[in-house]
Amino acid sequence: MSAVRPATALPAAASERDLFEWYRDGTGVVLQHRDYGLSAAGDSRAIHVPAGPHHVRRAASLAQDALDETAGPGIVMGALPFDGSCEAILRLPERVIRGAPLRGNVAPQPGWTVTDLVPDPLPIEYEAAVERALAAIDAGEVEKVVLARTLQVEADAPIDPRLVARRFNAGEPGSFVFLVALPGGASNLVGASPELVVRRKGRKVFSDPLAGTARRSQDRTRDQEIARQLLDAVKEQREHRLVAEAVADAMTPFCSNLVVDSEASLTSTATLWHLHTAIKGTLKPDAPDALTIAAALHPTPAVCGTPQAAAAALIARLEPFERRFFAGLVGWVDTIGDGEWALTLRCAEVSGSTARLHAGAGIVAGSEPAAEDLETEVKFGVGLRALGVEPV
């Protein structure tokens, strides 16, 4: 990573609608998206999802069993790992606090100072892995694969995950902000994901796959030029099309009608432009709940690649770490099957005075190793800012 400097001091947040105040160490879950938020409160039932294959499908079944046993309406909330390599715990809270997330205010400057950044793999090693992925693409082994890096952030004092969540919430308006206690109670998953996997509301279902990324500029004219270049980039369009087609194909069996944008369009976060395709449909009367639909979609080519099995095998060979909850799912599902699940992107796993960030880039024919490395650096910047550091 490049050198870093402390982020600018920020005014204190108001608390009257701060759902993160309800977060409980070891068992808490807070989910916020646009104009609504949910926070687990009181005691909760732990739904253990053991490590192993088909983990999202098994999680969906276990969640529905728990909801079926609930007297009255209920919601299951939580996060699931990328590939079932570790245990997950979903929560069925005694109570759910609902509210509109705070916007326009941000948390105070952190009470810790970042002292070290440790990348794994090193940039030169990551670029070598991209070269090997491109060789696999040239050999016809895969059409696309997503390769990730990690960045361990060390601080001089414990990192408060609530404060990190507030900073994510303020810095990435419009994203799906989450704070989840992970199994064992010693670590917390916190982030701000731009990508919706599935939303079910009654008979309506939505997905918003993203792929194709460019760093925004503070200069408005340059920013618009970057957006146009992204929209016209052949390589980025190819990468995006693979994702959108796979998501639409996986949703089709559940729908009596499915509408897919004919062309990718632009969407943005505070720091990045993305290509996206809006997908919406009408579910068949016997369609399953939101998490079961998510199980059919996950992992999409946005975080894995295509063909899925070959891409996953290549990831296992080329990435020198376990992704754990990075590129997994986070969200909720309720008694009637409605729910919303997003990818766990732009996130950190926080434990004590350490936070581990992840960032990935989609590799397709025409990818350039140095450019893919730069993309991961830019994505790290989202988490670094939330942790109190401004990349330079």
Query: What's the one-letter identity of residue 343?
Result: L
Contact 179, 25 (CB under 8 A): no
In contact, 194 and 269? CB cutoff 8 Å: yes
Catalytic residue among 144, 172, 236, 375: 144
Active site residue 379: no
Assess contact for 359 and 373: CB atoms under 8 A.
no
- Is 195 an annotated catalytic residue? yes
Pair 56, 329: CB distance under 8 Å: yes
* Amino acid occupying residue 302: A
Closest CA to 45 of 16, 69, 21: 69
φ, ψ at 293 (rounded to 5°):
-65, -40
What values do phi and psi take at 286, rounded to 5? -100, 15
Which DSSP helix (H) or strand (E) runs through 7? none
Task: Count CB-CB contacts under 10 A for residue 281.
Answer: 21
**Residue 13 has what DSSP assignment?**
P
Pair type for strands 339-343 and 88-99: unpaired
Looking at this protein, which amino acid is placed at residue 177? V
**Catalytic-role residue among 143, 172, 195, 349:** 195
If one counts every other C-beta atom within 10 angstroms of the C-beta of residue 159, the result is: 24
Catalytic residues: 144, 195
